[in-house]
Amino acid sequence: MSRLSVPLVLVIAITAACGGGGEKPSAGSSAAATPSNPAPGSTAAAPAGAAAPITGKTWDVKMIGDATGSRFDPASLTIKRGDGVRWTVVSGVPHNVVFWSDSIPSGAQGQLSANMPQPAGPMTSPMLVNVGDTYTASFGNVPPGTYHYYCVPHLALGMKGTIIVQ
């Protein structure tokens, strides 16, 4: 493979992971609130019609990619139902937030999807491409439990996180 082919293959892989471009549904559209591929065997609740607002504290998580690795800081966060989480790009762009549909509490997918503005896919944030970019999601009206998530471009480098909702 030539030296030019490797970067091209990486760009194609990242683009494919992001949904390939095109117009994304807006946060207020019904397409944004409807998950299109619930996990097999999941007992996800019916899609929520509207995002639940943040009624508690908004917690900050840094998205970092540097010489020591790619990571969320903190990697694990315990919050209360109704809180929000704001992810901020610090370095190592691009980053995003994707929740594993088979690693969240039963019945959470519909409401969590509705609580994620401008989704790039089910329970998937848009790609954040600039240092300082932020993404905020509400954990209002979601069931308590553990929510595992990751960054698509850096999953192979171990960029994973956990949110525990009490």
Average pLDDT over residues 90-109: 96
In a domain, 148, yes or no: yes
Per-residue DSSP letter, 116:
S
What is the reported pLDDT for 96?
A: 98
Nearest partner of 139 among 105, 115, 122, 162, judged by Cα? 115
Q: CATH code at 151?
A: 2.60.40.420
8 Å CB contact between 82 and 140 = yes
In a domain, 43, yes or no: no
In a domain, 122, yes or no: yes
What range defines the domain where residue 33 resides?
A: 5-37+49-165
In a domain, 140, yes or no: yes
What is the reported pLDDT for 31?
A: 33
The number of distinct structural domains making up the chain is 1
Q: Which residues contact 110 (CB under 8 A, 6 or more apart)?
A: 33, 34, 35, 44, 45, 46, 47, 48
In a domain, 23, yes or no: yes
In a domain, 132, yes or no: yes
What is the reported pLDDT for 16?
A: 42
For the stretch 38-55, pLDDT in tens is 333 333 333 457 999 999
In a domain, 42, yes or no: no
State how far the alpha carbon of 36 is from the alpha carbons of 101, 150, 160, in Å.
Answer: 11, 19, 23
In a domain, 44, yes or no: no
What is the reported pLDDT for 49?
A: 72
CA distance 129 to 27: 19
